[in-house]
Amino acid sequence: MTYPNIDMLIDGRWIGGAAAIPVFDPATESIIGHAPAIDAPTLAGAVAAAARGFSVWRDTPPAERCRIMLRATDLIRARREEIAATMTLEQGKPIVQARAEVDRAADILAWDANEGLRVYGRIIPAAPGLSHSVLRRPIGPVAAFSPWNFPASSPARKIGGALAAGCSIILKPSEETPGTAVLMAHAFQEAGLPPGVLNLVFGDPAHISETLIARPEVRLVTFTGSIPVGKHLAALASAQMKPTIMELGGHGPVIICKDADIERAARLCVTAKARNAGQVCVAPTRFLVEAPVHATFVDAVLRHLAPLVTGNGMDEATDIGPLANARRITAMEEFVSDATERGAELRAGGARIGGPGLFFPLTVLDRVPLNARAMHEEIFGPIMAIRPVADIDEAIKIANATDYALAAYAFTGSARIIDRLGRELECGNLAVNHMTASFPETPFGGEAQSGHGREGGTEGLDGYTVTRLVSVDTR
């Protein structure tokens, strides 16, 4: 396929940049295109465009906003194959998973578009001649930053929430995966979105973030990415008294109870771990298995892992594509080396597959000691760290023994244990007996160092609105 031309969308016009950033295919390590790098005057123009776009979009009736968003969603669905192929080419994930992500992005946008019709206020009873109206108003232009691991669904979260609430947005996707966002932006433009409502920029992340956050026109910052970068952006925003929505790192524990369907649990865990080669903030990483079923679980994992195909994501038969960049290869090698040096048993994988291409197999580490890096640092790659535990008490203690609190998982048939996990596990999202941490209609986000604010569901529009009281005395 032909990789799309990468330009920036500002005030309804597609423009290039003064410098070029190479984009690589991680399956071949070859350059497939270039992204522009925005300069200061053009970035200032994007801010001005977003301010103008906001004044138009804010006053557009919600029903019309919904219609435009749904038209864009229909175009994205119609272009599923093109968007998915672009995503696989620039990010590496298997084409089957890329198609599913395009579908998910469209579902997110459709949910948000319709939810925008239900951004209600309320009337507070007062006295005859005195009325109190509580309004929910769009907060204003939004600066949004999305990562490389989900080039369609992460931008969809931010675009959908902002536009449904009546905000304009300046989106900076990752320069490593720009093509997917460009194709999505084309769909919005062709759907009739007014100029300036959606602006797309690329370039030096520090320059863009520091400039946008400092501008008074920008009223909200939303970011998906690592904890260190999220903290930096949150500090910049707090200096300007600007709210943030932060979806940061995760280190998902999976508690396998002795009463669980072990075969099913192992199959679902392997499938979830293979997704996007483990480069998922909600990926299962620490598998805490009650001792009586530990050996059975490990054997089942190895059996379900064996037939998985690692290869170029453009091949329909591929289950695990390449890692997205060379940084992840180095990180995986370091995690494996550290764990085995501390006593973990390497049961599968563990070393890079010969190139070209950034391929690393699904790796199983068993009996991983608590002091291993894999037990307390985000892995963000295809490594399963398994550890037997004596009971549910130990499992909960280990699960909570990190600074992360994004997604958690459990397999059990006990209503009592499910109730306890819901109360005691520190996480923003808990999935029991399945491995899906979020849906378009449900709130998604973390606690503790994993961030704050929510994307998705009714709560997903809250961060993009402000509450205003209008009190009128006609007496």
Nearest to 145 by CA among 95, 79, 220, 53: 220
Q: Please give the positions annotated as active site.
A: 247, 281
Count of beta carbons in the 10 Å neighbourhood of residue 198: 28
**Dist. CA 133–CA 113, nearest whole Å:** 24
**Dist. CA 267–CA 265, nearest whole Å:** 6
CB 139 within 8 A of CB 217: no
Cα–Cα distance list, 163 to 217, 428, 443 (Å):
16, 25, 17
**Dist. CA 21–CA 326, nearest whole Å:** 16
Nearest to 445 by CA among 462, 424, 420: 462
CB 396 within 8 A of CB 418: no
Dihedral in degrees, nearest 10, Cα atoms 315, 321, 323, 326? -40
**Dist. CA 391–CA 395, nearest whole Å:** 6
The alpha-helical segments, DSSP class H, found in 222-288 are 227-239, 262-274
For residue 472, give both structure tokens: 């009128």
Locate tokens 């959606």: which residue?
198
CB 26 within 8 A of CB 92: yes
**Dist. CA 3–CA 90, nearest whole Å:** 9
Residue 42: alpha-carbon gap to chain centroid: 28
Q: Is the peptide bond before 356 cis (omega within 30 degrees of 0)?
A: yes
Secondary structure (3-state) at 284: strand
Strand pairing class (169-172; 383-389): unpaired
Paired with 365 in beta bridges are 346, 385
